[in-house]
Amino acid sequence: MDPLVLLLIVALVCCVAVVVLLPVLRGDSGEWSPEGDDPRAALEARKEAKYREIRDAELDFRSGKMAEGDYRALDRSLRAEAIEILKEIDALGEPPNTRR
């Protein structure tokens, strides 16, 4: 084998080993927060999904697909769920990057 190629392979192995094993060697969880899931990201995703549901229901109602009674009941329950999510987000406080 070409010595230059061998050197390149050794360098590659070292680079990969450092990149991959560094968190383990330093006991560093990196982007992982010790509490587990980033609750804000998960809640924001749930909130977006709920808003989409509210918009969908509203569009269905306005385009005549749903009876008014059905729509009002559905809209009420979806909004109640959305409010619960908003409350949970509020409970987390300001996101770190918006604090002054």
Partner 1 sequence: MTDLGRALLIIALVVSAYAVFAALYGARGGGREWVTSSRRAIYSVAALLTLAGVLLESAFLRNDFSFGLVADNSSTTTPIFYKLTAMWSSQSGSLLLWVWVLALFSSLVLLATRGSLREITPYATAVLGGIATFFCALLVFKVSPFTAIANPPAEGAGLNPLLRHPSMMFHPPMLYSGYVGFSIPFAFAIGALITRRLDAEWIRATRRFALIAWAFLSVGILLGARWSYSELGWGGYWGWDPVENASLMPWLVGTAFLHSVMVQEKRDMLKVWNASLIVTTFTLALLGTFLVRSGILDSIHAFGASTVGGWFLALIALVLVGSIVLIVSRLDDLRSPHRLDSLLSRESIFLLNNLALVGLCFVIFWGTFFPLISEAVTGERSSLGPPWFDRYTVPLALSLVLLAGLGPLLAWRRVTVSYLRRALGLPAAVAATACVALALFTDAAQSVTSLILFTFAAFTVTAVLSEYWRGVKARRTMSSDSYPAALISIVRRNRRRYGGYAVHLGVVVLLVGVAASSAFKTERDVRLRPGQTAQVGGYDVRYVRPTSGLSNEKLEFGAVLDVRKDGKRVTLLRPSRSYFASQDASMGTFGRFFRGESTSEVGLAPGATRDIWTAVQPDLRLLNAPLREANRRFADAPGDVQALVIAALSERYVRRAPPATFRVIVNPMVTWIWIGGLIVLGGALIALWPSALAARRRVTSLYAAKLGRELSRA
Site for partner 1 in 51-80 (CB under 8 A): 51-57, 59-60, 62-67, 70, 74, 79
The span from the first CA to the last CA of the chain, in angstroms, equals 59
Half-sphere exposure of 66 (CA within 13 A, CB side): 15
Q: Which residues pair with 36 in a beta bridge?
A: 33
Assigned token pair, 68: 């008014």
Verify binding: residue 88, partner 1, rule CB under 8 A.
no
Binding site for partner 1 (CB under 8 A): 1-2, 5, 8-9, 12-13, 16, 19-24, 26-32, 34, 36-38, 41-42, 45-49, 51-57, 59-60, 62-67, 70, 74, 79, 82-83, 86
